[in-house]
Chains A and B, each alone.
Chain A
Amino acid sequence: MGKKYANLVKNAVGRMVPTEVNGQTQVPFQGVGKHKPNARKYEPKISSCADFPEDGNKQVASLKEALIKAGLKDGMTITTHHHFRNGDLVANQIFDIAKELGVKGLRWVPSASFPCHEHLIQYLEDGTIHHIEGSMNGPLGRYASYGKMKGMGVLRSHGGRYQAIQDGELHIDITVIGAACADMFGNANGLFGPSASGLLGFALADSQYADKVIVVTDNMVPFPCSPWQIQGNYVDYTVQIDQVGVPEKIISGTTQITKSPDRLLLAEMTAQLCLEAGIIKDGFSFQSGAGGTSLAVGDYFAKIMREKNIKARFARGGSNKYLVDMLNEGLIEYILDGQTFDLDGVKSMGENPNHVWTSPFTSYNYHGKGNFAGLVDVVILGATEVDVNFNANVVTHSDGLLLHGIGGWQNCLFSKTVVLPIPLFRDRIPVILDEVTTLCGPGELIDVIVTERGIAINPKRKDLIEKLKDSNLPIKTIQELKEEAEKICGKPAKPEFDDELVAVIKWVDGTIIDSVKKVKS
């Protein structure tokens, strides 16, 4: 795989990043919208129907057989997807098989990993897996943080993952797509069956560009599996197994509106800000994540819209019960959904033509002819840290541990207004710093920080400052907020890091915006 990393240079946001990672040459971040590769997209091999069964039946007996037929061997790149979230039963099986077959040095590229994948640490230890390139949630992130992974972690946004595959930065040998429903030809969707999770958007690029595509399901239906969110024409092998996911764990744990009074206050302030800034108006659009605070923001939006008889043209999902209720109530005309977080979302997507499934290609890919994220009027996002220049971090904690993925966060920064409701401090840990530990999003794209003790508007957004100049909302400078937190919590010491790097953070265009240092153990 070549060197873990080499040749550090300072990028356009002043961060030291390597220009070689896992043996591949890298481009340091050049600035927003600056890097435009003058090249052709990646070319998958041409297939021929002559090589596939005439009756269309591509089903093989087991996942093991499929992997062997797909030519699984040392050093390959295997990809999986996180539609089953913490209930995923597919990824672990792939590497159990690889271990059994004695295959070594694999690169695993999940669209995200979850605590259920802690099982794979043993394979990172014994060399079955060389390294992970993908968002790491929880135990795997902790493992990587202490520098135990042989290769570099590469974290990409959902849009960045599509871009990397499309642009040929990320060549995939075998992709395994776990689907709630499929037919023997390989058509698949996430809508129906015991492991229903809604859609399969994260697997789209993999199906289009991987050398070999395997679809695994526990709900094999006779042809045609409709709708075909994944087109069987891309698929090499199909497999039926007992269970692809654990239903109760597929449902995300965060899809309840927060009960915390502090967070509800944050959400209420955020909604009030959007109202006073003139963002909530007839025909507007919004995106609010699946976290408890974000859900509450959606709920306050709904209240305001009901009171003032305002309708939104569309909302971008992560969909959930609350968003579906708004759709059914007529408060929003369309949900453009990237992933469904609960069964209400899954059901609605299956039944309501205005609940539309999207993919990272339509929503987020920066190397396309536009994408939907830029069309959204306001997006509500989270962050672990923000700095006085409005740069934000979503992957590491203040102690340096890499515990979260990027998700669609970076991609959403291209919305017309980006609002981050975050508590000023969490259990004494101030959230606003002089400099973020890891820079995931440049401050020029982040417009408003809402904290329970005040709201900071990016000085670049003169229009917002003007609109809110007579507001009763507590508008302060970001510096004032930072000082207020330090007055309450005390000035935090700077965490010490090892000089060694353990991961890089990709920007939406494939350049490297920051690197993650090893945590001192």
Chain B
Amino acid sequence: MSPKIATAGNTGKKIRSDCFVTLELKDKGGIQIEQKSKVEVLYGKANIELCKDVLSFYGIENAQLTLDDKGAVSLIIAARIEAVVKQLIDTDKEYLLDFIEENKYFSEKDQLRFSRLYLPGNSPSMMLNAGIHDPNGIILDLEDSVAFDRKKEAQLVVRNALRGINFYGAERMVRINQFPMGLEDLKYLVPHNVHMLLVPKCEGAEQIKELEEKIVEIQKQHNIERPVLLMPIIESALGVEKSFEIATSSENVVALAIGLEDYTADLGTRRTNEAIESFYARTRIVNACKAASIQAIDSVFSDVGDMDALRENVKVSKGLGFEGMGCIHPRQIKVIHESFAPETVEIEKAKKIVNAFIDATERGLGVVSLGTKMIDPPVVKRAETTINLAINLGLISENWREDFLNEQAS
């Protein structure tokens, strides 16, 4: 006999913006809903209506539903009810709330990825305000931060979050599970404008190929043409050795990230703040990324209380050639952005070089020189990168050269 009682969600003293739902299917007696909500005065009626609507959508006519609500918004309550229903009845139907207009933006292959904020996929309380801290990307995590027996309910929370939570322009990323479960995650993500998937424990190009086949299959079902970008995470010795192969496995792979906790475990060593043990892996990955013309992204820095250490860490990371880093706390974002951003002296120097290059091109000169010094093409290229970054970050205006020339003239 199939089970008749199911639960989903979280409860407890510290739980906020979430709910815990218990559903018991009955043979008769209609729908009975019991609600205990800290916002009952304001949203009690709306919650009951929502419960009824979800149950009726799944054709459930006799059941006892208990909603223990800690101020969850509708899209979370709906995900929790869908989760209990799906434990009890076999259905592929999805109860979808509005896909808000604000979430219909896209990301670009080479956009800025200094920071990406990890959000545990089954913990709604951190999701609502994640975007206000202005990370370059948010990662709804289905992998390590979600307990094994909660994977399915997290898929629904993440799907509903992608549709209904405004992340204010951050790149919308999801870290999927390792395969085969990671492939199961896709149908909850691909149709809902996920910009990028993080692929954990990636160890070879064939993994990426398998993933992309499945993505394309789902995209076809939903008439989606825009590709889903990929950021494989290298977390093992084998992965490090295969990093160039992975970096070039698909044009949708736009960055590689390194995951140091698992990598150091794989090495059989301990992760230290100095990170000497991962020096090879980090430089190897940066090199592979540059060779493949994609971004190299560093691991997270886990001491959330020490902003000075984080700042130092980012400087080293930037020095090695990384272009971004993971965050596990919103307060890390600003420090990471500041530390990855080009410094004023860098920008000023880059302005002079780029200006000299434009000047030389306009005058038809083959050689770029600044004063008496010749400037090599790679130096120009780096200066251009710095200028573009500074423009992207709003540190200088797009018309910086006008001001620059005026200053020179005066």
Residue ranges of A at the interface with B (Cβ–Cβ < 8 Å): 261-262, 264-265, 398-400, 426-429, 452-453, 487-490, 492-493, 495-496
Residue of B nearest to A520 (CB): B41
Question: How many pairs of residues, A versus B, come closer than 8 Å at their CB atoms?
Answer: 59
- With both chains docked as a complex, state the minimum distance between the C-beta of B303 and any C-beta of chain A, in angstroms: 14
B331 adjacent to chain A (CB < 8 Å) = yes
13 A-B contacts, Cβ less than 8 Å apart?
Answer: A262-B129, A262-B132, A398-B41, A399-B41, A426-B71, A427-B38, A428-B17, A428-B71, A452-B129, A453-B132, A489-B73, A492-B39, A492-B42
Please give the number of chain B residues whose Cβ is less than 8 angstroms from any Cβ of chain A in the complex.
Answer: 24
Q: Report the Cα distance A429→B39, complex, angstroms.
A: 7
Cβ contact within 8 Å between A429 and B71:
yes
Cβ contact within 8 Å between B132 and A490:
no
Question: Quick one: which of B23-74 are within 8 Å of A by CB?
Answer: 38-39, 41-46, 70-74
Q: Report the Cα distance A492→B132, complex, angstroms.
A: 23
In the bound complex, residues from chain A placing their C-beta under 8 Å from that of B401 are none
In the bound complex, residues from chain B placing their C-beta under 8 Å from that of A492 are 39, 42-43
Using A261-B329, A262-B129, A265-B133 as known contacts, say yes or no to A495 and B16 having CB atoms under 8 A apart.
Answer: no
Using A489-B73, A490-B73 as known contacts, say yes or no to A428 and B39 having CB atoms under 8 A apart.
Answer: yes
- With both chains docked as a complex, state the minimum distance between the C-beta of B167 and any C-beta of chain A, in angstroms: 12
Cβ contact within 8 Å between A261 and B331:
yes
- With both chains docked as a complex, state the minimum distance between the C-beta of B106 and any C-beta of chain A, in angstroms: 22
- With both chains docked as a complex, state the minimum distance between the C-beta of A295 and any C-beta of chain B, in angstroms: 16
B166 adjacent to chain A (CB < 8 Å) = yes
In the bound complex, residues from chain A placing their C-beta under 8 Å from that of B72 are 428
Q: Report the Cα distance A264→B334, complex, angstroms.
A: 12
In the bound complex, residues from chain A placing their C-beta under 8 Å from that of B45 are 493
Cβ contact within 8 Å between B42 and A427:
no
B128 adjacent to chain A (CB < 8 Å) = yes
In the bound complex, residues from chain B placing their C-beta under 8 Å from that of A487 are 100
Q: Report the Cα distance A124→B71, complex, angstroms.
A: 33
Neighbour of A490 across the interface among B43, B128, B133, CB < 8 A: B43
- With both chains docked as a complex, state the minimum distance between the C-beta of A485 and any C-beta of chain B, in angstroms: 11
Using A261-B329, A261-B331, A264-B331 as known contacts, say yes or no to A452 and B42 having CB atoms under 8 A apart.
Answer: no
Q: Report the Cα distance A490→B71, complex, angstroms.
A: 11
- With both chains docked as a complex, state the minimum distance between the C-beta of B306 and any C-beta of chain A, in angstroms: 13
- With both chains docked as a complex, state the minimum distance between the C-beta of A195 and any C-beta of chain B, in angstroms: 31
| Beyond A262-B132, A487-B100, 18 extra complex contacts between A and B, CB < 8 Å | A261-B330, A261-B331, A398-B41, A399-B41, A399-B42, A427-B38, A427-B71, A429-B71, A488-B128, A488-B166, A489-B43, A490-B73, A492-B42, A492-B43, A493-B42, A493-B44, A495-B41, A495-B42
Q: Report the Cα distance A400→B40, complex, angstroms.
A: 12
Cβ contact within 8 Å between A265 and B132:
yes
Neighbour of A261 across the interface among B42, B44, B133, CB < 8 A: B133
Q: Report the Cα distance A496→B45, complex, angstroms.
A: 13
- With both chains docked as a complex, state the minimum distance between the C-beta of B393 and any C-beta of chain A, in angstroms: 13
Q: Report the Cα distance A490→B73, complex, angstroms.
A: 8
Q: Report the Cα distance A492→B166, complex, angstroms.
A: 20
Q: Report the Cα distance A134→B95, complex, angstroms.
A: 51
In the bound complex, residues from chain A placing their C-beta under 8 Å from that of B166 are 488
Cβ contact within 8 Å between A493 and B43:
yes
In the bound complex, residues from chain A placing their C-beta under 8 Å from that of B132 are 262, 265, 452-453
Question: Quick one: which of B107-128 are within 8 Å of A by CB?
Answer: 128
Cβ contact within 8 Å between A427 and B17:
yes
Q: Report the Cα distance A262→B166, complex, angstroms.
A: 16
Cβ contact within 8 Å between A427 and B70:
yes
Q: Report the Cα distance A492→B71, complex, angstroms.
A: 12
Q: Report the Cα distance A428→B73, complex, angstroms.
A: 6
Cβ contact within 8 Å between A488 and B42:
no
In the bound complex, residues from chain A placing their C-beta under 8 Å from that of B42 are 398-399, 428-429, 492-493, 495
Q: Report the Cα distance A398→B330, complex, angstroms.
A: 29
In the bound complex, residues from chain B placing their C-beta under 8 Å from that of A265 are 132-133, 330
Residue of A nearest to B330 (CB): A261
- With both chains docked as a complex, state the minimum distance between the C-beta of B409 and any C-beta of chain A, in angstroms: 26
Residue of A nearest to B394 (CB): A472
In the bound complex, residues from chain B placing their C-beta under 8 Å from that of A452 are 129, 132
Using an 8 Å CB-CB cutoff, how does the interface string of B186-228 with A read, 1 for contact, 0 for none? 0000000000000000000000000000000000000000000
In the bound complex, residues from chain B placing their C-beta under 8 Å from that of A453 are 132
Q: Report the Cα distance A399→B41, complex, angstroms.
A: 6
Residue of B nearest to A427 (CB): B71
Residue of A nearest to B44 (CB): A493
In the bound complex, residues from chain B placing their C-beta under 8 Å from that of A399 are 41-42
Q: Report the Cα distance A231→B330, complex, angstroms.
A: 52
Cβ contact within 8 Å between A427 and B329:
no
Q: Report the Cα distance A382→B134, complex, angstroms.
A: 25
